[in-house]
Amino acid sequence: MEAPERRADQLEQPAEPGEQLKRGIGQKMLLLFVIGDILGAGIYARVGGVANEVGGAIWVSFLLAMVLAVLTALSYAELVTKYPGAAGAALYTNKAFKMPFFTFMVAFAVVASGIASAAAVSRAFAGRYLQEFIQVPPDLVVFLFLIVLALVNYRGISESIGVNMVLTLIEASGLALVIVIGIVALASGSGDVSRPFTFKQGEALPLAILGGAVVAFYAFLGFEDAVNMAEETEDPVRMMPRALLGGLGVATLVYLAVSFTAALVVPTETLGQSSGPLLEVVKAGAPAFPLILFSGIALLAITNTALINMIMASRVIYGMANQRILPKVLGKTHTERKTPWVAIVFTTLLALGLAFTGDLGALADTTVALLLVVFAIVNVAVLILRRDPVDYPHFATPSILPILGAISCLALMTQQRGDIYLRGGILLAIGAALWFVNMLVSRRLDKPDGGPGGQPPD
């Protein structure tokens, strides 16, 4: 057990003095990165799902989801300024609990959430937005979409903040159009002003709002990715809290305006039944606007979300294989492309398996369920690590907020169906199986040179 345990600790090791990343990200660039990471497929695809849960008052559930997200974001803000490394939740878990297998499972849960999100997004891509261009069987679209993502990933992607900024502006332009439609509808009196204040009939109001918040929470995911930029941020202690909270604030204002407009312009039933709800808003509120253009913007936002998720998942799998935490074969790279092709194949197969065994709602809920577990652990880690003072200033959140953050995560988790946890559990079981297979293989290979648990030669 000793060798695999020490390798698990590598999940949280900072770069060596000569291997540190360049600190070239300023405040504005970091803020836009956070906004771009949050905006995307969630708001374009899940407004209808929220409407199904809460009724016309979609914005209320988005507001609650934001409050719950901020509680966890404050915990991330404290931890990232206290431990400004690039490993995120795995780093904090390892420092707080010092249990290598537990640390690995948290890291794999983050990977699994990205794969589940990409599978969900593939279903969104195959929906109403694409049908505006061409009528194709959804299952075929899902298959081709994920294969194309894998090929792009295999070919090699140069992710840069500049590209993210451009894509953020394009994604935001579609949402800005929806907001303008809402302003015009209010000014002209063409919308139903009462509808955004009506709730689903036949269900207790708190449960309806909470059910909608669970669905809306998917649209706020992404803020946690920003902590991985800490080593490249000019002044993470000062900039990270501002970027996390500022990004969530901007995204919330956009989401509130978009969700209010959606209910104002389109009947709740229509939103709930559409796989491209914002297209219904444009169609009803701006019939002269080319629907193909808006669909193209939506598809770009959806594709960008999926690609980022799959790149993240394959690179983390590759990294853990290189650190001998996962089987070595997952760390193989292509001789010419220098891309982790085995990890790409592995993550793509998992995404395909998920995409063909669940719909958009179930897969998005699986993503949320996995990250809620991670978020609950991060909130607890904040409190545990208060016993680990550091000799430099860092952001500190009031102790009551991580407690409320953990409780809120548990509350949202209670709203998930059993099949969601079954799907998430299967993903985590795959990770656990890989861990133990790698542990057994490592122990067998180590025996000739160092005895049981011995280290192999360099």
pLDDT tens digits, 122-133? 999 998 899 888
CA angle, 113 then 203 then 65, to 5°: 35
pLDDT tens digits, 375-421? 999 999 999 999 998 888 899 999 999 999 999 999 999 888 899 99
The residues, any chain, with a CB within 8 Å of residue 63's CB and separated by 6 or more, are: 252, 256
The answer to whether residue 1 scores a pLDDT higher than 50 is: no
The answer to whether residue 43 scores a pLDDT higher than 60 is: yes
pLDDT at 194: 94
The stretch 174-187 carries a mean pLDDT of: 93
pLDDT tens digits, 370-387? 999 999 999 999 999 999
Contact (CB, 8 A) for 177 and 290: no
Q: Band of the pLDDT at 337, cuts 50, 70, 90?
A: low
pLDDT at 12: 46
Of 43 and 88, more confident: 43
Q: Band of the pLDDT at 42, cuts 50, 70, 90?
A: confident
The tally of CA atoms less than 13 A away on the side-chain side of residue 255 is: 34
Q: Which of 376, 183, 153, 350 is nearest to 261 (CA)?
A: 183
Q: Which of 24, 38, 28 is nearest to 308 (CA)?
A: 38
CATH numbers and ranges of domains, the chain: 2-10+25-450 (1.20.1740.10)
User: Could you tell me which residues are beta bridge partners of residue 25?
Assistant: 233
The stretch 433-440 carries a mean pLDDT of: 89
What proportion of the chain, given as a percentage, has pLDDT over 70?
Answer: 88
User: Could you tell me which residues are beta bridge partners of residue 233?
Assistant: 25
pLDDT at 20: 45
pLDDT at 449: 52
For residues 196 and 54, what is the distance between their CA atoms, to the nearest angstrom?
A: 10
Q: What is the reported pTM?
A: 0.84
Q: Band of the pLDDT at 232, cuts 50, 70, 90?
A: low
The stretch 108-115 carries a mean pLDDT of: 92
The stretch 187-203 carries a mean pLDDT of: 91
Min mean pLDDT across 79-88, 181-190, 214-223, 299-308 is at: 79-88
pLDDT at 354: 94
For residues 86 and 280, what is the distance between their CA atoms, to the nearest angstrom?
A: 40
pLDDT tens digits, 249-285? 999 999 999 999 999 999 999 999 988 899 999 999 9
The answer to whether residue 9 scores a pLDDT higher than 50 is: no
Can you give 285-340 as a three-state secondary structure string? HCCCCCHHHHHHHHHHHHHHHHHHHHHHHHHHHHHHHHCCCCCHHHHCCCCCCCCC
The answer to whether residue 15 scores a pLDDT higher than 50 is: no
Q: Band of the pLDDT at 239, cuts 50, 70, 90?
A: confident
The answer to whether residue 77 scores a pLDDT higher than 70 is: yes
The stretch 93-120 carries a mean pLDDT of: 92
DSSP label at 17?
T
The answer to whether residue 208 scores a pLDDT higher than 80 is: yes
Contact (CB, 8 A) for 89 and 224: yes
- Provide the mean pLDDT of the chain: 85
The answer to whether residue 181 scores a pLDDT higher than 70 is: yes
pLDDT tens digits, 344-371? 899 999 999 999 998 998 999 999 999 9
Of 87 and 341, more confident: 341
